[in-house]
Structure formats: C-alpha cells, structure tokens
Chains A and B, each alone.
Chain A
Amino acid sequence: DGGITQSPKYLFRKEGQNVTLSCEQNLNHDAMYWYRQDPGQGLRLIYYSQIVNDFQKGDIAEGYSVSREKKESFPLTVTSAQKNPTAFYLCASVRADTGELFFGEGSRLTVL
C-alpha cells in the first residue's frame, strides 16, 4: 500500500543532542513537508521541498535542518539550537492535482 512512513514513533532526547526523524513516501509525490504540532495548537510548517535537492524554510525553521537527496525521502534533523523541541512532528506529501496533504503517523519527540 502507498503511504508515508515516519520513524521513530517515539523518541527521547537529552538536551544538547541532535536527532534525526525519518520520513519516506512511496506515493511518487514531488512535494514533501514537515509540520510541528504542540498541544492544543494547529500545525506549523517547518520546512518543505518541492523537488529533489531543493527545500524552503517554513514559518518556524530555526533550529531545524532538512535534506532532500531522493524523491522518496525527506529527513528532519532537530538540532540542539531548537529551544523547545518537545512536540509531535508530522511529515506529509502533497497530491499535486488536488493539493491534498497525506500525512505519516507522526513522531513524538520528548526532551528530557
């Protein structure tokens, strides 16, 4: 079945550590996105990529980095520079003809 796979589902990090969240899609979508969700909040855009080897900052890119070396993969690194990284992270890709976002199951990061 086509879809988006995120890993890990749960991750604990000590302060000062970088962590990388994986996102893989087999939907053959060109554009991929990373969103962050905090309790009681909507989704906020971190980074997005419309084609391989290109990506743009979203609304809250500080303290995060991404790469897009393959169409299928869009990993997100949460760096030690991110002041408040505890959140639910959602990866998505878009169906270009409708604009519909397809989401992965999410990764929940907790900083200890």
Chain B
Amino acid sequence: QKEVEQNSGPLSVPEGAIASLNCTYSDRGSQSFFWYRQYSGKSPELIMFIYSNGDKEDGRFTAQLNKASQYVSLLIRDSQPSDSATYLCAVNMGDSGYSTLTFGKGTMLLVSP
C-alpha cells in the first residue's frame, strides 16, 4: 500500500513565525514531491515541487527533501494570517509525469495575528 502521511494538525503559529510542515511517504522509489495549499471550500493550488535531495526555495517557502529518510517538509517563513489553510503533500510514486499522485490527508495551519 503506497501511503503519504501527514500530521493533521492544526499547527498554530503566531504571525511572523516559521511554520514547519512535515510529510513521510512509503515508496522508496518515489521521484517527485509536491506541496499544495487548499483554502476551505476551494481546490488545491500548487506551492512548489521538488525532485532532488536538499532544499528548494521560492520566496517565503522552502521545500526540503530527504529520500533516504523518505521525508519531505515545507517551511513557511514570516507566516501571515493569509497562509492559514490546509497543506497537502503529494508524491508521484511512478516513473513518468503521467503517473498518479498520492496525497496525504493534509495539515491544517493556523496563523494568528
């Protein structure tokens, strides 16, 4: 069974703090990893993706991947109340862009003013 695990939260952080969201996956052969943000009642939107071990930064967001530990994380610096949403980790456990993504259940983030 291919699985993606996330802490459901909620993760509560004050405005301006760093929020750290974590995700583990079961398939060691997974190739690509995605973080989506989903506001209540809306569809998911891509924040960033990462393929290689290490860090990838995009503005206030940093994705971190450790394939040996089967672990991927998302750091949000200078958290804003508008970052309050559910963050979905998704993993491509196949070998092509057409392979299906397996999603975690998401972590709810609450950023308080």
Identify the A interface with B (CB < 8 A): 30-31, 33, 35, 40-45, 48, 50, 58, 90, 94-106
Contact = CB atoms under 8 A, between A and B. Distances in A.
Contacts of B104: 42
Contacts of B4: 42
A96 B106 contact: no
Interface size class of B (residues with CB under 8 A): 20 to 34
Nearest to A45: B100
B34 A99 contact: yes
Contacts, number: 59
Contact of B90 (A31, A44, A101): A101
Contacts of B103: 35, 42-44
Contact of A48 (B46, B96, B100): B100
A40 B46 contact: no
B105 A105 contact: no
Contacts of A31: 97-98
A111 B3 CA distance: 30
A45 B4 CA distance: 14
B8 A40 contact: yes
